[in-house]
Amino acid sequence: MPPLSGQEIHVAVQRRRQKEVGSYIPEKSMSWVFQADRYEFKISGRADGFTDEPLQIEEIKTAFDIDELWRKLKNDKDHPYIWQIRSYGYFHYKATGKVPSLNMHLVSSRNFKSLDLKIELDIPHYELWLALRLEELVEETKQKEKLFNHRQKIAKELSFPFAQPRPGQRELIEVIESQVANESPLLVQAPTGLGKTIGVLYPNLKDSLARGQKTVYVTPKNSQHVVAEEAVEKLQDQGCKIRSLTLTAKSKMCLKAETLCNPGYCEYARDYYTKVAEHQLLDKINRKRKLTHEKLVEMGQEYQVCPFELSVEAIERADVVIGDYNYAFSPRSLLSRLSEPLLESDEKPNMVIDEAHNLPSRAQDYFSPSLSVQDLELLEKDFVQLPPAISFQASPLLRKAKSLIQDYGKDGGSRKIEIAMEPFLDLERSIRALTTEYLESDSEIITRDPMLRLMNMWSDFIAALEYRGPEFFTTYQNSRFSEMLKVTCCDASEQLKQAYTKFKNVVAFSATLKPFTYYQELLGFPKDCKTVEFQSPFKVENRRLLIIPQISTKYSDRHVSAAKVAEVLSRVTQVKSGNYMALFPSFEFLAQVEKHLNLPHLRVLRQERDMKQLEVQFYLEEMKAANDPILLLGVQGGVFSEGVDFPGKMLIGTFVIGPALPSFDFEREQIRHYFDQRYGKENGFNYTYVYPAMAKAIQSAGRVIRSETDQGVIILVDSRFLNPTYAEAMPEGWFEESPRELVSQKIIADLEHFWRSCETATCN
């Protein structure tokens, strides 16, 4: 039986209570207005259950392990759940003069087991807490009013940072201004060179500031934050006093060997709020125009506080927040902090989604955790670094974990399954108990600590089993590498849609968002949302785009076509000396072609799996130096195919070696079946394979022409690029009526003519 969601459990309990007690009222609205200073604060909420006879208020809370939650609430009298139900009790007392009994009803989301915990409401004690909280609210509100007025003031001063917008940029700004006025989402395809980052950010920021709110700008990679930061700097250089914040992953900001936010282990978490108050760190944050990873870490070290938590504190005070997708869309996101409106009003911040073609797959990954025997075996090797007592106790837990996965392989190969939860929950309790013992010992927490990794891996997987709906399925998969259990999210559009509701305006943009219908669906945008495409502002004469359909790069043909691809690389790169890049559908095909290369006129660099940033930067510096002509071999969707600029002579040609269709495997075919069912059989294959592949191909092609003076060639190798379905994803301006216009009967002669015309134009 699939697990029940928290909402379903609430409804089931409330219905049962209504049958048991006739006076039971579910979702009872409760509120009270408090006067403090010159402010009136209305605090409100809905109690899950209320009865007159007996007089009782009830809150229903669900959890995987309710025994653990019960112990936590029993031992922590200041837990937010405790103050929530006490507040409901106090509201009722103020309205009626009667003190109700308070009951916390805890229910397992796995087996419906329930526990009750009685909560005491001591009126004098509550009023002491309330007085302190109201003082804090008064001070917070005064600060928010100052910030609100500051934003409205700078909105009037905000001006576009360039005297003359680029071709198409003014139209882009006008489109966005129109959309934010209508409060409707917008999908924008705009090529490199249009100035789309500042063109999208400027009108969104001007609108949000005028309403006293912020703009949240999200990107798929930390490396792409720089472009947004530079756009904000241009506005700041104009004299506009906007505050920017760049969020960085907790693991990259952590000042300890392991990211463990436990005051017993981490001195930066210990007495955090006391140190923040004593050193007036919020005021110090408020005075900084630009908060980056480096500045926050510097403050963390100086004042012995967690720099990541400082960045979270800074969200409310920042006028523009730049961060990775996961801060807004992952299960453990900061969505509530990012979207919280300044002052109580109907206003909301704006959201800008950069490189939006990446978001569907990234969001699906957030909700698709796995457990594999291979990962557990690698983890097992690291346990030898821990104290023998911990390592000894971990061994049977790891054996049990592997056997739980392997048990699903006894009935056959890869297939969809239903997980029996109890054994997994039992093992989680044992892992949690050992983790607690380990943390309470004097053992030193090491970098990439295996005990903590095991705990997080197991808990994340169990938590994912709560996801409900046809877009989720669970599989056992057996490959030559490992056995694995996986929760797969085929389509995260519903989760994305829920996140968008927290923002007033949402603009998603990229150079690759066609076909629009596909991205509208998987991004969770309404079908009637406005879509707009802008053409490249650069001269078409500076680019030669060709398709070579005679070579097949289909998986079954690669052993034959590898030598042919190598010949194309050799002959084309001899026409014009310079740096080239060939981007393949896989590392395996790259290696096959490399064996056939004979390029005495070029130095060959090859992308490796899991390249470090320093290695990537070294390759880019080599291409920039241009000491010798270079051919860079890489893969589509890799570090060199997206989010990297190759301006000027750094790159004069790119070969896109076939569309990089995802592998045809059991899991992918289940995803295709889902798309068949939801979006129609005519779309299932395209949604699963074609459109994701074309997004990578078009991004790869876009590396060549990055400025108005760049000149270069783009060679697409494979007959599938002529297929109308594949061509549907191509940008406007690549061809007039049909991609067949890009097929040449005399490729070398055409390229020679192109480069001669470029030389003539440059001379003139």
pLDDT of residue 3: 43
**Does 433 fall in a domain?**
yes
pLDDT of residue 1: 34
pLDDT of residue 2: 39
**Does 610 fall in a domain?**
yes
- 434 lies in the same domain as 478: yes
Structural domain range at position 406: 370-489
- 300 lies in the same domain as 430: no
Question: In percent, how much of the chain has pLDDT > 70?
Answer: 97
- 407 lies in the same domain as 501: no
- 353 lies in the same domain as 280: yes
The residue type of 452 is L
439 or 128: whose pLDDT is higher? 128
- Spatial separation of the C-alpha atoms in residues 111 and 113, rounded to whole Å: 5
pLDDT of residue 762: 64
Judge whether 479 and 405 are in contact, CB under 8 Å: no
The number of residues in the chain equals: 764
Judge whether 494 and 471 are in contact, CB under 8 Å: yes
Residue 321 CB contacts under 8 Å (≥ 6 apart), including other chains: 214, 215, 216, 217, 244, 245, 246, 247, 315, 338
- 743 lies in the same domain as 611: yes
Average pLDDT of the segment spanning 733-753: 94
Residue 610 CB contacts under 8 Å (≥ 6 apart), including other chains: none
Average pLDDT of the segment spanning 699-706: 86
pLDDT of residue 596: 97
Task: Write down the number of H helices and E strands in the chain.
Answer: 29, 23
> Is 556 buried (19+), middle (13-18) or exposed (0-12) by CB count in 10 A?
exposed
pLDDT in tens, 684-699: 999 999 999 999 999 9
pLDDT in tens, 478-533: 987 789 999 999 999 999 999 999 999 999 999 999 999 999 999 999 988 999 99
- Spatial separation of the C-alpha atoms in residues 649 and 656, rounded to whole Å: 19
Residue 438 has, within 13 A of its CA and on its CB side, a CA count of 28
Residue 426 sits in a domain of what CATH number?
A: 1.10.275
Q: Which of 458, 489, 520 is the last residue of a domain?
A: 489
Residue 234 has pLDDT above 80, yes or no: yes
- 211 lies in the same domain as 299: yes
Nearest to 506 by CA among 350, 327, 341: 350
Q: Where residue 114 falls among pLDDT bands split at 50, 70, 90?
A: confident
Residue 27 sits in a domain of what CATH number?
A: 3.90.320.10
Helix, strand, coil tally for the chain in percent (to 5):
50, 15, 35
Average pLDDT of the segment spanning 606-631: 91
Q: Which of 121, 144, 172 is the last residue of a domain?
A: 121
Backbone angles phi and psi of 95, in degrees to 5: -80, -30
**Does 143 fall in a domain?**
no
**Does 152 fall in a domain?**
no
pLDDT of residue 380: 92
Q: Cβ–Cβ contacts within 10 Å for residue 325, how many?
A: 22
- 196 lies in the same domain as 318: yes
Q: Cβ–Cβ contacts within 10 Å for residue 211, how many?
A: 21
Judge whether 306 and 268 are in contact, CB under 8 Å: yes
CA 64, distance to chain mean position in Å, is 25
**Does 14 fall in a domain?**
yes
Q: Which of 98, 121, 144 is the last residue of a domain?
A: 121
Q: CA 501, 503, 507, 509 torsion: positive or negative?
A: negative
**Does 155 fall in a domain?**
no
- 571 lies in the same domain as 717: yes
Judge whether 579 and 649 are in contact, CB under 8 Å: yes
How far apart, in Å, are the Cα atoms of 191 and each of 173, 252, 509?
Answer: 15, 32, 10
pLDDT of residue 49: 92
Scored b (16 or more CB within 10 A) or e, 295-315 reads bbbebbeebebbbbbbbbbbb
Nearest to 215 by CA among 280, 283, 154, 296: 154
Query: Per the structure block, which two tokens stand in for 483?
Result: 């056995």
- 457 lies in the same domain as 360: no
Residue 109 has pLDDT above 70, yes or no: no
- 430 lies in the same domain as 345: no
Residue 692 sits in a domain of what CATH number?
A: 3.40.50.300
Query: Per the structure block, which two tokens stand in for 144?
Result: 């928010």
Residue 276 CB contacts under 8 Å (≥ 6 apart), including other chains: 282, 305, 310, 313
**Does 130 fall in a domain?**
no
pLDDT in tens, 168-205: 889 999 999 999 888 889 999 998 878 899 999 999 99
Q: Where residue 369 falls among pLDDT bands split at 50, 70, 90?
A: very high
- Spatial separation of the C-alpha atoms in residues 281 and 299, rounded to whole Å: 9
- 401 lies in the same domain as 360: no
**Does 134 fall in a domain?**
no
**Which residues make beta-bridge pairs with 331?**
none
pLDDT of residue 96: 95
pLDDT in tens, 28-55: 999 999 999 998 899 999 999 999 888 9
- 173 lies in the same domain as 24: no
Using DSSP bridges, classify how beta strands 472-478 and 580-584 pair: parallel, antiparallel or unpaired. Answer: unpaired
How far apart, in Å, are the Cα atoms of 763 and each of 181, 544, 705?
Answer: 47, 19, 19
Tell me which of 636-650, 653-667, 688-702 is least confident. 636-650
Residue 138 CB contacts under 8 Å (≥ 6 apart), including other chains: 36, 37, 39
The number of domains in the chain is 4
- Spatial separation of the C-alpha atoms in residues 698 and 762, rounded to whole Å: 27
- Spatial separation of the C-alpha atoms in residues 323 and 224, rounded to whole Å: 9
pTM of the predicted protein model = 0.86
- Spatial separation of the C-alpha atoms in residues 370 and 6, rounded to whole Å: 22
- Spatial separation of the C-alpha atoms in residues 645 and 705, rounded to whole Å: 9
- Spatial separation of the C-alpha atoms in residues 64 and 462, rounded to whole Å: 8
Peptide bond preceding 526 in cis form (omega within 30 of 0): no
pLDDT in tens, 222-233: 777 888 999 999
- Spatial separation of the C-alpha atoms in residues 77 and 118, rounded to whole Å: 12
pLDDT in tens, 532-559: 999 887 788 889 999 999 999 999 999 9
Nearest to 307 by CA among 349, 250, 383, 262: 250
pLDDT in tens, 256-308: 887 877 776 788 888 888 888 889 898 888 888 899 889 999 999 999 999 99
Query: Per the structure block, which two tokens stand in for 47?
Result: 């109690």
Judge whether 235 and 242 are in contact, CB under 8 Å: yes
Residue 208 has pLDDT above 90, yes or no: yes
